[in-house]
A and B are shown apart, each in its own frame.
Chain A
Amino acid sequence: MTPLLSVQGIAKRYGAHIGCADVSFDLYPGEVMGIVGESGSGKSTLLNCMAGHLVPDAGQVVFDTRTDGPRDTITMSEPERRMLGRTDWAFVHQHARDGLRMGVSAGGNVGERLMAVGERNYGDIRDKATDWLGRVEIDASRVDDRPTTFSGGMQQRLQIARNLVTGPRLVFMDEPTGGLDVSVQARLLDLLRGLVRDMGLSAIIVTHDLAVVRLLADRLMVMKSGRVVEAGLTDQVLDDPQHAYSQLLVSSVLQV
C-alpha cells in the first residue's frame, strides 16, 4: 500500500539551534500518528514543516495526492501547496483564535472552506455548516453567533468543524486539547475519537499529554532535542518504553 504521507529526513534549524533533525516516517491511510515529547523538543517545528507552514532545510514530505499520486509537497508550487491546505489537508491549532476568524459567524467560519473550493449556493453552504455544528455538539441556534461569544471548548470544536467540513484526507493537530480545562479536554478528546473513527481520518497529533495519544493514536514517535528517540505502536511505547528518555516521560517524571 502507498503511504498517505511519507516523511524523509526532515531537518529545520533556527540559526545554529536545531528545531528538528533527521525525522523520517510513513503514515498509512486511516492511521493516527502521535508525536510526544517535552516542551521544546521540536514537535511543532516538525508539524509545521510537514504542513507547509515552515520550509525545512532538508528532507521530503511526500503526499499521495488524489490526482497525481505521490508528490513532494516541499518542492511543489506554492499555489498547489495552498490548494492542498484548503482541500485535502486540515490544520487544528492549539489556540482556536489562530485557526478561526473571530469576526465571522460560526456558520461563516465553517463555510469558508466550502466557498474557497467554489461552492456558491448560500442555502447549501449554510445547511452543511449547520450539520457540522451538530457533529461537534454545537447547537444549530448558534450558527449566526461569533466565536467570541463561545467558550474555549466550543471554539476548539468550531475550529475542528471548520477544518473537517471539506472532508480532508489528512489532519494536522498541534496540542488540540492544550489550554483547556481538564473536564473540557475529556469531552473534546471523546469527540475527536468519535470523528477519527467515523470518518476514518488520517491524522498527525502533536501533544505533550500522553493521555491524548493513548486515546487517539495508533502509533507514537517520542521526540527529544529535535530528534525521534523512539517510535512504535502506542501501547507498546507507553507500556514498555525502550529508550531511557521515553521511560522518564512515561513515568511522568518529565510531565509538565
Chain B
Amino acid sequence: MTEYNFAYLDEQTKRMIRRAILKGLAIPGYQVPFASREMPMPYGWGTGGVQVSAAVLTPDDTFKVIDQGADDTTNAVSIRTFFQRTAGVVTTTATRDATVIQTRHRIPEEPLHEGQILVYQVPIPEPLRFLEPRESETRKMHSLEEYGLMHVKLYEDISRHGHIATSYAYPVKVEGRYVMDPSPIPKFDNPKLGDMAAIQLFGAGREQRIYALPPYTQVVSLDFEDHPFEASKANHCCGMCGATDSYLDELIIDDAGGRMFVCSDTDYCEARQAMGHKGKDAA
C-alpha cells in the first residue's frame, strides 16, 4: 500500500519510538515516556504494542501476533493483517520462525531464542497505580526505590484470600532495581520473563510509556518469605496434545456443562499434535 510509509508510522515517529526503546533497554524496567501517536484502531486494541512493532519491524522480519496465546482471534488477525498491508512482512504462526512476536496476555510456551523480539501490549504500565494514584508520587517512589507499597498490595491479597490471589499482571523486580508490571500475563508466565534470550519490549499506548527487558535480565516475582511466589496453573493436562507443562484454558464443550482443558498457546499445541502427541479428549 503505497499511501503508507513502511509499517504505517513516518520515519521521524519511528526514530522517536526507537530512542524510547533504546533508553528502556539501557534502564531495564524503567518506564520511558513517549509521544504516542493516533493509530487506526481503538485503545485497548494494543496501540502501544503496535507502535513498538512498527518501530522495530524491518522488511526482512517474520511477524507473529498472539492474543491470549492464540493466533486466530479477531485482535490478533487484525494486527497481523495491518502489518501485512502496511509493511508487507511475512507472517507466521510458528513461534520459532518469527523474528518479531506481538503478544497480549501470554508468553509462548516454546523458549524464545536470541535474535527474537517479543512485544507486549500493556494497558496499565504503572504497578503502583493501584494504591497510589498520584503520578508525581509514583515517579518519586520509583526514583527512590520506595517499593513498600507493592508489598501492601500483596499483604491485602493474603489478608482477604488467605494467599496471594493476584494471578495476572503479577509485579516483578528487575535486576534488583525497578518494580515492573509485566502486563496482564498469567503469573504462570512470570518465570519466563527472567533470563530470556529474546528482547522483551512493552508498549502502553494510552498511557504513553515504553519499557524493556534486554536479553538475559534478572526478573524476580515479589512475594513474602512465608507466602512464596508460585507459578500456578490448572492442575490438568491438555486434552488435545497431552502437555503437562503448558498454560491451559478451560473450555465448555457441550450443553451438559462438559469441559476440557487445552493449551492456551495454539501453536505449541498444534505442533505437539503434529508430532503425534495425543490428549484424552483428542479425536
Contact = CB atoms under 8 A, between A and B. Distances in A.
Partners in one complex: yes
Contact of A107 (B146, B151, B155): B155
A143 B155 CA distance: 12
Nearest to A103: B131
B110 interface: no
A82 B224 CA distance: 24
State the main secondary structure of chain A at its contact with B: helix
Contacts of B146: 82, 86, 116
Contacts of A143: 159
A115 B152 contact: yes
Interface string B154-169: 0110111000000000
Contact of A115 (B155, B158, B225): B155
A78 B145 CA distance: 12
A82 B141 CA distance: 10
Given A82-B144, A116-B146, A108 B226 contact: no
Nearest to B148: A116
B224 A122 contact: yes
A132 to B, nearest CB: 15
Interface residues on B, range: 10 to 19
Interface in B128-160: 131, 144, 146, 148-149, 151-152, 155-156, 158-160
A174 interface: no
B65 to A, nearest CB: 36
B225 A121 contact: yes
A80 to B, nearest CB: 10
B280 interface: no
A105 B155 CA distance: 9
Interface string A159-186: 0000000000000000000000000000
A121 B225 CA distance: 5
Interface in A89-124: 101, 103-105, 107-108, 111-113, 115-117, 120-123
7 contacts: A78-B144, A105-B156, A115-B151, A115-B152, A116-B149, A117-B148, A122-B224
Given A82-B144, A105-B159, 9 more contacts: A86-B146, A108-B156, A111-B152, A120-B223, A121-B225, A121-B226, A143-B159, A144-B159, A144-B160
